[in-house]
Amino acid sequence: MGLQALFFYLFAFVAVASAFMVISARNPVHSVLFLIVVFFNAAGLFLLTGAEFIAMILLVVYIGAVAVLFLFVVMMLDVDFAELKAGVLQYAPVGMLVGLVVAAELILVVGSSVLSPEAANSITMPIPNPAERSNTAALGDVLYTHYVYYFQIAGLVLLVAMIGAIVLTLRHRQNIKRQDISRQVARTPETAVEVVKVKSGQGL
């Protein structure tokens, strides 16, 4: 067994074990920490395949931003996880259906690569002068030319998801004095100043 194969099995085993701990850990903070471990090992697998740019993006974006954001949200918000887990059984059939669909897709992908190894070569996109171009430049050429519309649609979906999350979690508190700009602009001296005549000796 070569050194590359040894590191592959090491990264793959730790990633699968950590992914299992993400869904089985009782403490949500521990789940996020195990998720960070999964991202680290996935980045190692990308490095073994020669995709160093994707590995670096995985470290910078997912670990440096997304996972840390998850950790801060879990630690700062007072979420009753016992109440959230109480109704999880009613969604079990839908979850099993989605799991079966994903498993069938994985079986089809792995089975097609095993039964017909030439299938992977038939769907690859040729890159001009691959020896003179880095992985980052080749990825940018493919992403921003042939798949630019799909890239924009993916960004739009993420934007809609972000706006939806903000709308769902934004709650206006009652009995809080808020600024009304249109009402302030429409004020007149008659409505802004109130002259009160106070009798002598009575005060306000």
- The pLDDT value given to residue 126: 66
Does the pTM surpass 0.85? The reply is no
Q: What percent of the chain has pLDDT over 90?
A: 3
User: Long-range pairs for 48-57 at CB < 8 Å and ≥24 separation?
Assistant: 48/4, 48/7, 48/8, 48/11, 50/135, 51/135, 52/135, 53/134, 53/135, 53/136, 53/139, 54/139
Asked if 17 and 23 count as a contact pair (C-beta separation under 8 A), the reply is: no
Question: Architecture of domain 1-77 in CATH?
Answer: Up-down Bundle (1.20)
Query: Which amino acid, residue 121?
Result: N
Tell me the range of 4-8, 152-156, 191-195 where mean pLDDT is highest. 152-156
Q: Is the confidence at residue 45, as pLDDT, over 70?
A: yes
